[in-house]
Structure 1
Amino acid sequence: MKKLLPLVLLGLTGCGSVYQVQPDDPYYAPLIPEMPEAQMVLTGSMFQDVTAQNLYSDIKARRIGDIITVNLVENTKANKGAKSELDKETSVEYLAPTMFGRPVTIGGNTLDVGIDNTTEFEGESKVNQNNSLLGAISVSVVQVLANGHLVVRGEKWITINQGDEYIRLTGIIRPEDVTADNNIASTKVANARIQYSGTGSAHDTQTPGWLTQFFNSPIWPF
């Protein structure tokens, strides 16, 4: 038993360890497209077709490496209530047996048997949840799908005193939803994954220890 105790504590420590998010995650790093070599044609003129821009083209993001600003306007609210009532009453009575027309007695007492059972249950639950996230984050295009939709991904880190706060976002957008100044609302990002959290001492003080997490976990039998 003494040999198993350290192994149990070691397993609990491993289960309670929390992955620490670090900046500069390669998954959220922007893709920098390779710059093609310009084929300069000596024509004696300052105008070159390979570097010229169309006067009627816009500057909206549509290629890998382009940057789009996502305005975070998330606001969700959920209300749920439930009430249950259960009443159950059971009554059973057995008459005393008779012999020769007279009730059978033991010590002068008849053998009547009666059982009464009453069960009552009442439960009520209410859930109110509100979430709001406002801000902005600039992400880069990492993939252009066959239908023209853009896969975007990016992160932003802010260091405040001894702690860091970060926002990470991934999703798919339509080029038509991007404004002329390369902005889009987060509500128009499909399959959006938005993470807003922090690291450091301020965040650690709000996280319970591994032993507390174990006692609050579903595997605790009591």
Structure 2
Amino acid sequence: MRAVLIITMAVFLAGCSSSPPEPVVVEPYEPVVIPENAYGVPNGSIYQAQNGYIPLFEDQRPRRTGDIITIVLEEQVSATKNASSQSSRASNIGVDLEGLPDALEQLAEYGFSVGSANDFAGSGGSSASNQFSGVITVQVMQVLPNGNLRVRGEKQIAINQGTEYIRFSGVVNPRSISGQNSVLSTAVAEARLEYIGDGYINDAQKQGWLQRFFNYIAPF
């Protein structure tokens, strides 16, 4: 009997345990490795094809795999929702007994009426607001057929006994890149932004397993 109770308690506690959150940027991040050019024998020309393509009459905006872009994080989302409803209904029925036969004339002075009323009013509202700002530098992982750039980057910041992670990925239109080689996060398509941390500070913000257990079985 004791073994059954121990196993049952272990099952409940396992159900109350929290699993680590799945990352938003699910692709495994590895920096792009640009293969080195195999230099051939110079042919005497001023411009050598094996030295790579360097545009002379174009701005130096990122457009190739491995190029660097600075993402300016300016995310602000707010939403408000309000709803209200009201209804009312009233009815009244009266019956007069003056027209009763002589045998029931003693009831003629009586009568009755029935009335009902129903009123309802309800309202509700909710609001949410989130704001995130910062800067992260990402790398071009792929050049799409239409010229757009698929970028991804990660930043790790170690503070005392904790580590903060910032991950970003998305698709950038090269025309949205400014002269300072930066682009606003609001101009990035399919943007995925994740900001998480680990360490004792992050653990202090989580409920203990015993508290989660009682919250799980509490009827109200």
How many residues of Structure 1 are paired with residues of Structure 2 in the alignment? 210
2:213 is paired with a residue whose SS is helix
AA aligned to 1:81 is N
Counterpart of 2:7 in structure 1 is 6
Give 1:48-63 correspondences, 5 Å limit: 48-51=48-51, 53-63=54-64
TM-score by length of 2: 0.72
What corresponds to 1:107 in structure 2? none
In the TM superposition, residue 26 of structure 1 has moved relative to its aligned partner by 6.7
Query: Hey, what does 2:108 align to over in structure 1?
Result: none
SS in 1 for 2:11: helix
Say whether the 8 Å CA contact 2:12–2:213 is kept in structure 1.
no
Change (3 A) 1:146 1:45: closer
* Map 1:187-206 → 2, pairs under 5 A: 187-206=186-205
CA drift at 1:68:
0.9
Q: CA separation in 1, counterparts of 2:129 and 2:204? A: 23
TM-align CA RMSD = 4.0
Residues 58-80 of structure 1: CA deviation (Å, up to 9, x unaligned): 43212222221100111222222
* Displacement of 1:177: 0.9
Aligned to 1:163: 162
Shift of the 120–35 alpha-carbon distance from structure 1 to 2, 3 Å rule, reads farther
Task: Give the superposition deviation at 1:90.
Answer: 6.6
Q: Which deviates more from structure 2 when the two are superposed, residues 27-36 or residues 69-78?
A: 27-36
Residue 128, structure 1, aligned to residue 127, structure 2 = yes
**1:92, 1:6 → 2: CA distance?**
66
| Cα distance between partner residues in 1 of 2:14 and 2:146 | 48
Distance in 2 separating the partners of 1:46 and 1:69: 34
SS in 2 for 1:50: helix
Q: What amino acid is aligned across from residue 38 of structure 2 in structure 1? A: E
Whole-angstrom distance in 2 between the partners of 1:101 and 1:198: 93
Alpha-carbon spacing, 1:5–1:150, altered in 2? closer, same or farther (3 Å): same
Q: Secondary structure at the match of 2:152?
A: strand
Give the partner amino acid of 1:28.
Answer: Y
Distance 2:103 2:7 in 1: 73
Going by fraction, where is helix more abundant, 1 or 2?
2
* Paired-residue identity, %: 35
What is the distance in 1 between the residues matched to 2:195 and 2:157?
Answer: 11
Residues 64 and 4 of structure 1, relative CA distance in 2, 3 Å threshold: farther
CA-CA distance at 1:164 after TM superposition: 2.2
Structure 2 counterpart SS, 1:202: helix
| 2:38 maps to 1:41 | no
Question: How far has the Cα of 1:166 moved from its partner?
Answer: 2.0
TM-aligned CA deviation for residue 149 of structure 1: 1.0
**1:85/1:70 Cα in 2 relative to 1: closer, same or farther (>3 Å)?**
same
Unaligned runs of 5+ in 1: 104-111
